[in-house]
Structure 1
Amino acid sequence: MSLGQELAPHLPFLRRYARALTGSQQHGDAYVRAALEAIVAAPQDFPRDVDARLGLYRVFERIWASTNDNDERADMPEGDREGIARARLARITPMSRQALLLTAMEGFTTEDTAYLIDTTPEEVGTLVADALAEIERQTHADVLIIEDEPIIAMDLETIVRDLGHDVTGVAVTRDEAVAQARAQRPGLVLADIQLADDSSGIDAVKDILAEFSVPVIFITAFPERLLTGERPEPTFLITKPFQRATVKAAIAQALFFDSATVPA
């Protein structure tokens, strides 16, 4: 099997991580392309002493670490999102965010995470603890849940409330979601892809975003379909079945990049 064939199954999930880390599909996918370009340019430098997924993320982390303390690449347009990110980076270090996302969202062990970010397992534990402490201090938001499966909706509602956020409502169809968003503007949306009556969470979110800006986390059992890098796709994505820690990390990261949550 060629190296390209080994890496292909892992690319969607690297895109998920990169988008969550940068708060942008455009920027995250650009970092993934840069990592792939580095592998193509010097395949002999690809880490072959570890499995393909770990090696791929290792190359990505080297690219990320080389970009001026995590400022965006020079060829990426600057905007408010980057200013927001820098403001929050003053309180939670990029390394802490990486450690949390790698363990909670990507499922790497403490040892593998230490390898990826060039530190020790003990330091990874400290970094994750620092990130979780910052989450506890994070500005709370009003959250709209768009989910038609009652058990999953209740689980999400519990997680959201345990994090200190308020739930504005639970919608099970596209029309309900739009109506609830209009009635009480949320600060964050958690949206399933497939809803009751065969409506789409993606369409519901498009309708909501047409009226006002709000960070969105999509929830799907088929993440690969929304992580192709070939069209406009979600920045934040949770895979079903999800872990509590994954939802917690995704919510924290989405709010991290949202201007509405930056304290005055």
Structure 2
Amino acid sequence: MSLGDDLRPHLPFLRRYARALTGSQQHGDAFVRATLEAIVAAPDQFPRSVDPRLGLYKTFHAIWSSANVEEEPGHAAAGDAEGIAQARLSRITPLPRQALLLTAMEGFTPEDAGYLIDASPEEVESLVAEALAEIERQTRADVLIIEDEPIIAMDIETIVRDLGHNVTGVAVTRDEAVQQAMARRPGLVLADIQLADDSSGIDAVKDILAQFSVPVIFITAFPERLLTGERPEPTFLITKPFQRSTVKAQIAQALFFDSATVPA
């Protein structure tokens, strides 16, 4: 099997990670593209002593670390997601954010995450704690949950409240979601894909975004269906069944890059 065949199944998830790390589909995809270009240009330098997924993420981190992480290659325009996050980025380094997302969202062990960011497992755990504490201190929001499974909705609501956020409502259909969003504008939306009346959470989000801008985190059992390379694609995506730490990490990142929650 060729190197390309080995890496192909992992690319949608690397794009998910890159987007969460940068807070932007455009910026994240640019770093992934640069990673693939580096592999094509020098395939003999690809780490062959580890699992292909680890090697892919290791190459990505080499590209990310060598770049100015405050800006996407080509320079981010003032006022975009990276610029908005400048106040926070000055108080939390990229390394803790990487450790948090690699373990909480991508499911790497502290040992594997340590390999990726050149840290010991103990250092990874310390970095994760640092990132969560710092980001959670800086972000608070009203959250709308769009989820038709009661147990999952209750679990998400508990996580959201534990983080110090306020839940404005839990909607189970497209129409209900839009109605609640219009009645009380949320600062964050957590949306399932398939809703109670066979309506679409994607359509609900489109209706809401047509009225105002708000960060959105999609929740689905099939993330690869939303990471096909076609447009539009979500910046923030949670896979079912999810870990509580994954939801916390995604909420923190989504709000981290949202202009409405930039501290004064």
Kept in 1: contact 2:193–2:201 (CA 8 A): yes
Whether 2:208 is the aligned partner of 1:208: answer: yes
Kept in 1: contact 2:15–2:32 (CA 8 A): yes
Q: Matches of residues 179-194 of structure 1 in structure 2 within 5 Å?
A: 179-194=179-194
- Give the TM-score of the pair, scaled to structure 1: 0.97
The residue that corresponds to 1:49 in the other structure is 49
Instruction: Say how many residue pairs are matched.
Output: 264
Alignment deviations for residues 142-193 of structure 1 (CA, whole Å, 9 cap, x no partner): 0000011111111111111111111000001110000000000000000001
Structure-2 separation of matches of 1:9 and 1:51: 13
Q: CA RMSD in A?
A: 1.2
Whether 2:98 is the aligned partner of 1:98: answer: yes
Deviation at 1:227, TM superposition (A): 1.2
- Give the TM-score of the pair, scaled to structure 2: 0.97
Structure-1 separation of matches of 2:230 and 2:32: 13
Structure-2 separation of matches of 1:134 and 1:176: 34
Alignment deviations for residues 108-159 of structure 1 (CA, whole Å, 9 cap, x no partner): 1111111111222232122112112113312311000001111111111111
Alignment deviations for residues 18-50 of structure 1 (CA, whole Å, 9 cap, x no partner): 010011111111111111111111111100000
Q: Percent identity?
A: 83
Structure-2 separation of matches of 1:80 and 1:245: 27
Classify the secondary structure of the residue corresponding to 2:170.
strand
The residue that corresponds to 2:235 in the other structure is 235
The residue that corresponds to 2:84 in the other structure is 84
Query: Once structures 1 and 2 are overlaid, which stretch shifts more, 181-190 or 24-33?
Result: 24-33
Structure-2 separation of matches of 1:72 and 1:137: 26
The residue that corresponds to 1:123 in the other structure is 123
- Which amino acid in structure 1 is aligned with residue 120 of structure 2? T
Kept in 1: contact 2:142–2:188 (CA 8 A): yes
Gaps of 5+ in 2: none
Deviation at 1:76, TM superposition (A): 5.3
Deviation at 1:229, TM superposition (A): 2.3
Deviation at 1:70, TM superposition (A): 4.1
Q: Matches of residues 149-164 of structure 1 in structure 2 within 5 Å?
A: 149-164=149-164
Classify the secondary structure of the residue corresponding to 2:119.
coil
Kept in 2: contact 1:141–1:165 (CA 8 A): yes
Deviation at 1:72, TM superposition (A): 1.8
